[in-house]
């Protein structure tokens, strides 16, 4: 009888430990850039997915947007920064920002309709997309479509651009990258 009581106690103990470990293992994990469930993306307002040379690019550090007053330009500029621990950074800059919905292009004729874009890869190679009227070889393809919610101070939109490796330090063969399908979703500024 004593042996039967000890076995029943051990059985209950093992079942309790197994149930406890089951509950712990079901704890929601934070997604990484290698695997991002669609449900996480639908429920996350301040993350972004883009394609860099055709590969999924997940920004695992919250994107930021900031407005700076620029006395030289006589107005405000908007900088949107996306960081990834594994992949690098993307920085979009609108030098003449006004709080209204607008489409900016890199090669716009009017400066107030332009933006610049930088992509810095994990090896600190900088790729730049910017307007150049001086004949310098620089990529000037790209579009940034922004919707501004001034009441909540957020920006939402899409972007894409082509960028060339910055070889101003010399010796490096020019390379280019394509950033497409970029999505900005309610990033506070």
Q: What is the pLDDT of residue 60?
A: 76
- pLDDT for 157 equals 92
Residue 97 to residue 79: CA distance in whole angstroms = 9
pLDDT at 186 over 70: yes
Indicate the SS3 state at residue 15: helix
What number is the average pLDDT over the span 43-56? 68
DSSP run (H or E) holding 31 = none
Largest pairwise CA distance in the chain: 96
If we measure between CA atoms, which residue out of 118, 165, 162, 120 comes closest to residue 143?
Answer: 162
Residue 85: per-residue pLDDT: 80
Average pLDDT over residues 86-99: 87
Predicted confidence band of residue 156 (pLDDT cuts 50, 70, 90): very high
What is the mean pLDDT of the segment spanning 1-20?
61
pLDDT surpasses 90 at 159: yes
pLDDT averaged over every residue in the chain: 75
13 pLDDT tier (thresholds 50, 70, 90): low
């Amino acid at each position: 009888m004593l042996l039967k009581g000890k076995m029943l106690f051990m059985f209950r103990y093992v079942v309790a430990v197994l149930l406890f470990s089951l509950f712990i293992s079901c704890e929601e994990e934070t997604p990484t850039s290698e695997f991002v469930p669609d449900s996480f993306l639908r429920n996350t307002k301040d993350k972004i997915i883009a394609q860099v040379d055709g590969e999924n690019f997940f920004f695992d550090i919250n994107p930021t947007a900031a407005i700076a007053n620029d006395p030289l330009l006589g107005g405000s500029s908007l900088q949107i920064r996306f960081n990834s621990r594994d992949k690098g950074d993307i920085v979009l800059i609108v030098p003449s920002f006004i709080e209204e919905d607008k489409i900016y292009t890199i090669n716009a004729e009017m400066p107030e309709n332009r933006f610049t874009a930088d992509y810095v890869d994990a090896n600190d190679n900088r790729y730049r997309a910017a307007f150049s009227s001086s004949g310098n070889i620089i990529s000037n393809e790209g579009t940034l479509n922004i919707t501004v919610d001034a009441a909540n101070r957020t920006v939402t939109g899409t972007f894409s651009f082509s960028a060339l490796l910055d070889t101003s330090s010399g010796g490096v063969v020019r390379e280019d990258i394509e950033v497409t399908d970029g999505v900005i979703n309610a990033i506070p500024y």
